[in-house]
Structure 1
Amino acid sequence: MNPEYPLLFALRGNQDYAARVAQRLGCQLAAHEEHVFEDGEHKSRALEPLNGRQAVVFHGLYDDTEYSVHDKLCRLMFFCAALKDAGARRVQVIAPYLCYARKERRTEFQDPIISRYVATLLEASGVDRLLSLEVHNVAAFDNAFRIATQHLHSAELFAEHFAGLIGDAEVVAVSPDTGGAKRAEQFRQALERRLGRPVSGAIVEKYRNNEVLSGTRLSGEVQGKTAIIFDDMISTGATLLHAGHACQAAGATRVFAAAAHGLFTGGSELLDSPLFERLAICDSVPPFRLDPSLAAQRLDILDTTALVAALLAEEYGLVASESRP
């Protein structure tokens, strides 16, 4: 391997995503091993010499069928610390999905601010830089960490996708709640640039009490328009369904939904609903909770590896290709 390249590692469960980034950079993933002991403890180590090298570690911090989010976080911390112990001069983590990003503030008396604790743990493990896709609150993400952070926006990627779907219809970009208004506005502006014509905006009123959603007010005009509801993630899908019904009731002729991260913790309820013509997500979290045939019919999954490869190429002086995978 070219000594000028950073060593790219992918912990278990993230090999496919990392391999696609590596392919775009014209390199291969570095070798490492992971071992689980009889008592449930775990170790991982790099098999490439690390002294003085830079390392990039790919690890999506979401719960899946094999590991809990806490297992993944612990494995990432141990591996990064081991890289530093082995002489790596710099360790960067690529976490397309970052756990606990939504727990960035207190909502109840003596609530923990877990995003800050995650930052402290990663910093203590020797991580020098963190890149993540479409975090819940960018300012809170930046403020939680003392190390360098980089936030990857998905607005341009979704704008490119929807520009080819909506034809000549009038379009409105909809935020499903007030908290996501800035994110939806970024998408609105990106889509407007792609289409070369005005795109309006709207915001749906939403209140949450013990996981029950309420609020029916919609600020903005959707009557006779194609509505695209844009959010950072799909968890149970209740927020998007709430916003979709509000748009439909207000006279939207077509309704689409988009979110960077598709967790689908509520199963297929969102995809089963005829409310949305199509749903689009990024590839940060594989839709393993969904039936593959249903996902293929109703879900568009956008590839973010070209964006990540371009950022790494710029940072490390490499050449990235958009067309390799």
Structure 2
Amino acid sequence: MKPLAFHISLADDLAEELVSESLVAGEFEFRHFPDGESYVRLVTPVRDRDVLLLCSLDGPDAKLLPLLFAARAARELGARRVGLVAPYLAYMRQDKAFHSGEAITSTYFAQLLSGAFDWLVTCDPHLHRHTSLGEIYSIDTAVISAAGPIARWIAERVRSPMLFGPDEESEQWVSQIAGQIGAPFSVFAKQRSGDRAVRISGNADLAGRTPVIIDDIVSSARTMAEAVKLLRTQGATAPICLGVHGLFAGDAMATLRDAGAGEIVTSNSVYHATNGFSVAPELLEAISSWLRREPTT
């Protein structure tokens, strides 16, 4: 019997791509009681079935309780295994206590999800001080990369690209993508003095090429906007801005536009009007690989 996939919160096109291949859509009911508490119901029977909950974890505080309730219900109703497909994985930022008394939320969030699920599939989590999700998650995890979809998008649409990473953390994506399409790349240096205060430095030798800025997360967009400004002051045309996870908090889009950005494109890991390439094939491969494994006792 095919595994059941419950669409908790995901870009509709991504959910359709995942379910249309090797999964069966399960019917899920969710609403709020008048007092704000959550009502969760798995309408489709799950007994002896592998169950996947599809939920990208942008805006995680509002999504977490319904997600945990759905996972617990699936277990109590006899599901064989319960997995989480979270293309965007939240709470990876706070991976140490920078000041006395701070909660290390990446660890706590990992413990919550590890206690509810048997396995997790995600896309390009923001690993900084952790070298792998296995350092904080106690369940099986699979990480897929959006480098392939980004490389294909650039190869099909951009003539003579020159790739830029806005900071040192972006080098892992930029160098991989550049290698796949045979394009030159450069990585800028970043100094951060606050959540929305950053300074970018570096030189851009474009030599007639089209500038393309690539980053994993576009949240406040300040880092990418500063990279756009730097390129524009050095004579570049409006840079194409590509992001894996487009969160676009607050005035992020306006900030990028005002900085002089050209086309802005993100993956469908998080639903947004800028979605232009899909991570579904990579997610499906990781999901299928895990589902082929026999349950551990």
TM-score class, shorter-chain normalisation, is 0.7 to 0.9
Cα distance in 1 between the residues matched to 2:146 and 2:86: 14
Structure 1 residues 278 and 16, CA gap change in structure 2 (3 angstroms)? closer
Structure 1 residues 77 and 252, CA gap change in structure 2 (3 angstroms)? same
Structure 1 residues 280 and 244, CA gap change in structure 2 (3 angstroms)? same
Amino acid at match of 1:150: A
Amino acid at match of 2:264: L
Deviations 1:4-27 (A, max 9, x none): x111111256655323311133x5
Secondary structure in 2 matching 1:10: strand
2:276 to 279, 283, 301: 301
Report if the CA contact (8 A) 1:176-1:203 is conserved.
yes
Equivalent pairs: percent with the same residue? 24
TM-score, normalised via structure 1 length: 0.80
Cα distance in 1 between the residues matched to 2:9 and 2:198: 40
TM-score, normalised via structure 2 length: 0.87
- CA-CA distance at 1:140 after TM superposition: 4.8
1:48 equivalent in alignment to 2:44 = yes
1:148 equivalent in alignment to 2:140 = yes
Residue of structure 1 in register with 2:224 after alignment: 240
Q: CA RMSD in A?
A: 2.4
Amino acid at match of 1:99: A
- CA-CA distance at 1:283 after TM superposition: 1.1
1:7 equivalent in alignment to 2:4 = yes
- CA-CA distance at 1:77 after TM superposition: 0.9
Cα distance in 1 between the residues matched to 2:13 and 2:151: 25
1:162 equivalent in alignment to 2:154 = yes
Residue of structure 2 in register with 1:284 after alignment: 269
Task: Give structure 1 stretches of 5+ with no counterpart.
Answer: 64-68, 193-198, 288-294, 318-325
- CA-CA distance at 1:249 after TM superposition: 2.8
Task: Give structure 2 stretches of 5+ with no counterpart.
Answer: 293-297
Amino acid at match of 2:258: S
Residue of structure 1 in register with 2:195 after alignment: 211
Residue of structure 1 in register with 2:32 after alignment: 36
1:73 equivalent in alignment to 2:64 = yes
- CA-CA distance at 1:275 after TM superposition: 2.3
Report if the CA contact (8 A) 1:174-1:228 is conserved.
yes
Report if the CA contact (8 A) 1:56-1:91 is conserved.
yes
Amino acid at match of 1:174: F
Deviations 1:148-192 (A, max 9, x none): 11111111101100112222x2x3321111122222222222222
Secondary structure in 2 matching 1:146: coil
Residue of structure 1 in register with 2:291 after alignment: 316
Deviations 1:254-292 (A, max 9, x none): 5211111111113331453372231210112222xxxxx
Count of residues in correspondence between the two structures: 289
Cα distance in 2 between the residues matched to 1:250 and 1:277: 16
Structure 1 residues 216 and 83, CA gap change in structure 2 (3 angstroms)? closer
Deviations 1:30-73 (A, max 9, x none): 1232243232222323233323221111011122xxxxx21201
- CA-CA distance at 1:220 after TM superposition: 6.3
Cα distance in 1 between the residues matched to 2:125 and 2:136: 12
Secondary structure in 2 matching 1:164: helix
Cα distance in 2 between the residues matched to 1:75 and 1:246: 43
Cα distance in 2 between the residues matched to 1:110 and 1:184: 36
Cα distance in 2 between the residues matched to 1:45 and 1:15: 20
Report if the CA contact (8 A) 1:101-1:135 is conserved.
yes
Cα distance in 2 between the residues matched to 1:152 and 1:107: 29
Residue of structure 2 in register with 1:196 after alignment: none
